Amino acid sequence: MIGYGKISPPSVLSAGPPLEGASARALLERALRRAEREAPSAIAIFDLDSTLIDNRPRQAAIMRAFGAARGLPELERCEPDHWQGWDFRLAMKNAGLSDEAIRDHESAFKPFWFERFFTSEYCALDQPIAGAVEYTRAVADTGAQLVYVTGRPEDMRDGTLNVFTSRGFPQPGGDRARLIMKPTLMEGDDIYKIRVHDELRELGQVVAAFDNEPTHINGYQDGFPAALCVHLATDHSPRDVRVAEGIPSIRDFTAFARRGSD
Ligand SMILES: [Mg+2]
């Protein structure tokens, strides 16, 4: 029998190693120049979770609440770094729970998580991916349109807008920045993200797209071949889909935020 000792973080399914330092910075600046050149019709698309937003603090808070509810002190001490991808069993193990206890509690965790993860209350804990606030503000300053396209459901709009405000992201509203969300949680993310392509075409010219899901960044590259598509090598759903050849990966937006300092 395979024990939970075999649990390991998901591999990054990039086409190549993530760009770092000057290479990453050059890529981000190239997208900025395209936005500037094609403004005001230029559109830069940004996914939220694991692209601009680190939701591991939300995941850890849910795990701590679960630990409190079930009398599991190891889980009550769960930290964001214990989450390495979407596998909650790995997070439980990293928090110090035994293999036997993981088996005992895993089925109860799923509904507990589901009731909380997609809520404005818990998403208030979200933090920006490094450099993401600085970069999205720079894109907005070009005069291009910023479009956040997220698989979060409309129910989370208020909480998501609050996070934009509190963390300093360009605020959606008007025609310079928009937030497109799933009408309901039940619509599949893959279908939804492709469905939105037509809406994006009507808004202007897509010059850049950023998404951590290989399926979704590949979809943008197919739908908008002239756009600069960038994969965020953070985490992704547990599917064996690789980022298409030619799509560069970055780990975060740090290279842009630190420009001029190295
Ligand atoms: Mg995402």
The sign of the CA dihedral 80, 82, 85, 87 is negative
What pLDDT is attached to residue 53? 97
Please give the distance, rounded to the nearest whole angstrom, from the Cα atom of residue 151 to the centre of ligand 1. Answer: 7
Please indicate, yes or no, whether residues 200 and 234 belong to a single structural domain of this protein: yes
Please give the distance, rounded to the nearest whole angstrom, from the Cα atom of residue 156 to the centre of ligand 1. Answer: 15
Please indicate, yes or no, whether residues 146 and 227 belong to a single structural domain of this protein: yes
The encoded tokens of residue 204 equal: 């202007």
Please indicate, yes or no, whether residues 172 and 236 belong to a single structural domain of this protein: yes
Please indicate, yes or no, whether residues 35 and 69 belong to a single structural domain of this protein: no
What pLDDT is attached to residue 239? 76
Please give the distance, rounded to the nearest whole angstrom, from the Cα atom of residue 228 to the centre of ligand 1. Answer: 17
> Which of 123, 145, 168 is at the close of a domain?
123
What pLDDT is attached to residue 70? 96
Contact between residue 145 and residue 175 where contact means Cβ atoms under 8 Å apart? yes
Please give the distance, rounded to the nearest whole angstrom, from the Cα atom of residue 170 to the centre of ligand 1. Answer: 18
Please indicate, yes or no, whether residues 192 and 248 belong to a single structural domain of this protein: yes
Averaged pLDDT score across all residues of the chain: 91
Half-sphere exposure of 145 (CA within 13 A, CB side): 22
Q: Is there a domain that residue 240 lies in?
A: yes
What pLDDT is attached to residue 6? 42
Please indicate, yes or no, whether residues 119 and 244 belong to a single structural domain of this protein: no
Please give the distance, rounded to the nearest whole angstrom, from the Cα atom of residue 213 to the centre of ligand 1. Answer: 6
Please give the distance, rounded to the nearest whole angstrom, from the Cα atom of residue 175 to the centre of ligand 1. Answer: 23
Domain that holds residue 181: 14-54+127-257
Please give the distance, rounded to the nearest whole angstrom, from the Cα atom of residue 73 to the centre of ligand 1. Answer: 30
Please give the Cα distance from 122 to 109 (Å, whole number).
Answer: 16
Please give the distance, rounded to the nearest whole angstrom, from the Cα atom of residue 101 to the centre of ligand 1. Answer: 30
Residues with CB under 5 A from ligand 1 (ion): 47, 49-50, 212
pLDDT in tens, 192-225: 999 999 999 999 999 999 999 999 999 999 999 9
What pLDDT is attached to residue 1? 30
Q: Which of 16-25, 103-112, 223-232 has the lowest mean pLDDT?
A: 16-25
The encoded tokens of residue 5 equal: 């000792």
Half-sphere exposure of 216 (CA within 13 A, CB side): 29
Please give the Cα distance from 43 to 201 (Å, whole number).
Answer: 9
Please give the distance, rounded to the nearest whole angstrom, from the Cα atom of residue 216 to the centre of ligand 1. Answer: 9
Question: What is the CATH classification number for the domain harbouring 244?
Answer: 3.40.50.1000
For residue 44, CA distances in Å to 134, 136, 137 come to 15, 9, 12
